[in-house]
Structures are given as C-alpha cells and as structure tokens.
Amino acid sequence: MAETIKQNRAASQGFTLMELLVVVVIIGILAGVVVLGLKTMRERGRVGGLKEVSSAFDSVLRTDLRAEWKFDEGSGSTALDTSGNNQNGTLGGTGASCNTINCTSGNGNCPTYYEDNAKNSFALEFDGTNDYVVLPSSAIDRQKGTVTMWIKRGFATWGASGTSIGVFRMRSNPQSERWSVTLKNESGNVRRLQMTWRTGIVGGGANIFTSVGNWQTGEWHFVAMTWDASMNDGKIYVDGVSNSQKEGIIPIDPIDSCLRLGGYADIMFKGAIDDLKIYGKILTAGEIQSLYAQTAPKYHLATQ
C-alpha cells in the first residue's frame, strides 16, 4: 500500500512538472506573438507617419515650382512642362549659344523615350554621343533655387582621372560655362557628382560642390542641388541625404542663354534622366526627403 502511494505521488509530481513545461512554452509563444504584433504596429505607424509627412508637404512642394518635366510623353520632340508655367523643352532643339540643330526624327541627336515596366512610366535615355534637351533658361533663378532629378548612369568607362561627364549646364554668350552639373572621375577612380558655377570664360574661378561617395553604374539615384548666391553656398543631396563638400567659393556671375540637359561638347551624358524639377526657392532637407520618399519605390524597382 505504501509503495502504491509513493508511485502515485511520483506520478503526480512528474505530471505537475510537465504541466509547468507546457505552460512555459505557451507563455513563450504568446510573448513572441505580442512582440511581433508590437513590431508590426510600430512599423505600420512609422510608414503611416512618413505618408502623412509626405502628404503634408504636397502643397508646399508645388510652391515656387518653376518647371517640371516628367518625360512621360513617350514620343515626339517636346518635353512638356507640367508645372503650369509653360516652360516646355525641346529634344535636340536650338537655343542661344547652344550651337545645335533641331531634333527631327531620324537625325540621331534626340534622346530616346523608353518605358520602364517596373516603374510603369517613361524616362529619357541619352546615348553619350549627341543626345540633349534644350530647356528655357528662364526656368532658373540664378540667385537661389533647387534642381531635383532622378539619374541613372549608363556608361562603364570614365576615362582618365579628372575626366568629367556632363549632365546639365547653363551657358552664357560668349561661350562660357556659367552653371554645370557633371559626373567626375577623380583621383583613385572615385566617381562623384559635381555642381559648378563659373565666372568669365571656361577655366576661370568657380564655386564647386561635390558629392561624397562613389557613383555606381546602372542604379537610379535621386539628386537634389540647392544654391544661395547671397551666401555663396550650395548643397548636394543624394537619395534624400545631404551629401556634399565645398571645394571652392567665389561670387556667382549671372547665368543666362542656353540651358541644356544631357551634357555638352565632348562630355555628353550616357544614361537615363527622369522627373526633372526646378524650384525658385531653396528646399529644406525635410522637403527634399519628402520628394525622395514619394518617388523612390518605383525607381528602386526599376531594372532596365
């Protein structure tokens, strides 16, 4: 009888231990579910917050928008300005001091519209030889402003150290590069985006701002450039982040005449450009981040 009681107690104690183990496992599972739920809620809250911030900036980002070219026409030689300011550009085209010929079908100097299925819209592709777009120079305020665009570098060979590839430039008459954006191959094959204001003829003094970090082939990047002539200051943002260093500073001369996208002379751009905007104000870091957040998903999915 005593032996039977001992066995029952042992069994009872063993069963209690198993119960405890089961309870511990269940608590662990429930805790994991709770933590996962909290993480999901936090992520949803963060994403929701970003959307709310972007929505709040929507109307602000239309203020002082002097020109906007989405390059979604898909055909033809006109780049429509969707800002409402009638600053249409011409693929190829002519302009003061541009020394160019009109872009007509088949003459080989027009950028190509291509539809990127991943982002479900068009962009302009430049061949690196003679493709360009002439834009109204009145779109730029030389005293202050912001230019934003999406860029995808399409060339693999940079040339010797110090070689530049043109992206965007304003040229005055007589011929001098007053404002330009280039991709530059620096010493040690470090490739950077550079924004320059020049005074006088080519080779004169310049205000130079260069992005920090390498520039890879085949990747879309959102670029924003701001300038303030009163402060002799400028900034470059890459993918929504302030990313520049000042290399030179002098007063900025007036810029006028020809505004050309796609490079110039013997440093033509090869790659794609999309969603170009010019503002008559200096966008804040928050506004630039909002622009990036609104458009980044479709470019990060692009594969062409």
Domain count, the chain: 2
Residues 159 and 207 occupy one common structural domain: yes
Residues 213 and 96 occupy one common structural domain: yes
CATH code, domain with 242: 2.60.120.200
Q: Write the single-letter amino acid at 199.
A: T
- pTM for the whole thing? 0.73
- Residues 213, 243: contact at Cβ < 8 Å? yes
Residues 116 and 231 occupy one common structural domain: yes
Residues 197 and 124 occupy one common structural domain: yes
Residues 24 and 94 occupy one common structural domain: no
Residues of the chain predicted below pLDDT 70: 1-60, 93-109, 116-120, 155-166, 170-178, 186-191, 197-206, 214, 247-258, 264-266, 300-304
Residues 114 and 34 occupy one common structural domain: no
Residues 45 and 86 occupy one common structural domain: no
Residues 102 and 29 occupy one common structural domain: no
Spatial distance between the Cα atoms of 170 and 257, rounded to a whole number of angstroms: 7
Residues 154 and 75 occupy one common structural domain: yes
Residues 194 and 45 occupy one common structural domain: no
pLDDT score at 34: 40
pLDDT score at 286: 92
pLDDT score at 146: 92
Residues 9 and 95 occupy one common structural domain: no
- Its domain, for residue 2, covers 1-58
Residues 101 and 229 occupy one common structural domain: yes
pLDDT score at 17: 58
Task: Please state, in angstroms and as integers, the Cα–Cα distance from residue 179 to each residue in 51, 174, 275, 279, following that order.
Answer: 35, 14, 20, 16
Could you read off the pLDDT of 67-125 as tens digits, one per residue?
999 999 988 888 999 999 999 988 876 554 555 555 554 555 688 888 865 556 899 98
Boundary (domain end) residue, out of 9, 27, 58: 58
DSSP 195-210: EEEE-SSTTS-EEEEE
pLDDT score at 303: 40
pLDDT score at 41: 45
